[in-house]
Amino acid sequence: MLDLLKIPVYSIQEFTLLTGRAYRNLFLRPHYWDDVVIQMDIIGFGSLPIVVLTGFFSGAVMALQMSRALSQYGASGQVGQIVAIAIVRELGPVLTSLVVAGRNASGIASELGSMKVTEQIDAMRALGTDPTKKLVTPRLIATAVVLPLLTAIADFVGMVGGWIVAVPMLHLTTGSQYWSSSWRSLEYNDLAQGLGKPFVFGMVIALVGCFYGLQTTGGTQGVGRATTQAVVVASVWIFVLTFFITRIFVNM
């Protein structure tokens, strides 16, 4: 029984230590800004096409789903509002983060995992750099900054997707009503949670990816395992955390 608990307890302890170090490095020199920029490029621009695609279709499908229900109550004019709230509060942040988790938690874990099994992490330490400073903190900063931006783009594209379904396709409402009702329905609170969530999820994705990468043992097979675990764990955390963050905002 104790043995069964030992591995998760050990993992949590190691994860906490890594997290602590990654944040402490924010205030310690040297800072590897070049690596931050490179990571922003990889994570941000690299994810842009797929984020735009998922954003567009989630907005479009929301409008499609809502069209019938709303016309039953004669409220099809409200479609802009419904799409806006669903996208900005929940679908934009969560779907974007899941996409980035699938792409980048795995990318980070496999990159760091290969470095680990080929002793490049050891070499880094032997040659005067702290891998948490050089590898983890830049990825943490980059993902936390880039993910809210990607989410904002996904939100906007999702609204456009909803508009295409609601206005030119199904004629549920007029274009100006769609945009004005969606704009009016959004409150400061919605924007705060809509951008706060991806900020938190970005940190989770980077830290989980780095953690599993740096924990890799057992050669190339181990890299594959680390990659899968990173995606699964990061995705589950996104769902769990979005519940708790939403809970906080609903109470406010």
Partner 1 sequence: MADHGPESVLRFERVVVTFDENPVLRDISFNMRRGETRIILGAAGSGKTVLLKTALGLIRPDSGRVWVFEEDSSDFSEHQWMKLRRRMGMLFQESALFDSLTIEENVAYPLLNQGAPPPPGEVRSRVEEILTFVELEHTLEKFPSELSGGMRRRVGIARAIVTDPPLILYDSPTAGLDPITANTIMELVAKERDTKSATTAIVTHRFQDGELMAKFSYNPGSGKLEPVLRNGTDPVNTVFMVLKEGELVFEGTQAELEQSRDPYVSKFVKH
Q: How far is the CB of 35 from partner 1 (least distance, A)?
A: 10
Closest CB to partner 1 among residues 80, 107: 107
* Inter-residue contact 100 to 43 (CB < 8 Å): yes
Among 13, 16, 118, 220, binds partner 1 (CB under 8 A): 118
Q: How many residues does the chain have?
A: 252
Closest CB to partner 1 among residues 71, 129: 129
* Inter-residue contact 54 to 148 (CB < 8 Å): no
Q: What 3-state DSSP class applies to 32? A: coil
Among 41, 45, 69, 120, binds partner 1 (CB under 8 A): 120
Q: What 3-state DSSP class applies to 200? A: helix
Expressed in angstroms, the distance from the first to the final Cα of the chain is: 42
Binding mask 62-101 for partner 1 (x = CB under 8 A): ----------------------------------------
* 2 touches partner 1 (CB under 8 A): no
* 8 touches partner 1 (CB under 8 A): no
Would you state the structure tokens that stand for residue 45, as one six-digit string? 């621009």
Candidates 245, 231, 247, 236; CA nearest to 106 is 231
Closest CB to partner 1 among residues 127, 252: 127
* 126 touches partner 1 (CB under 8 A): yes
* DSSP symbol at 135: I
Closest CB to partner 1 among residues 189, 220: 220
* 128 touches partner 1 (CB under 8 A): yes
What is the per-residue DSSP string for 91-106? IHHHHHHHHHIIIIIH
* 4 touches partner 1 (CB under 8 A): no
- The region of 126-134, 166-174, 176-184, 196-204 touching partner 1 under the rule CB under 8 A is 126-134
**Helix, strand, coil distribution of the chain in percent, nearest 5:** 90, 0, 10
- Residues lying near partner 1 in the complex (CB under 8 A) are found at 115, 118-120, 122-130
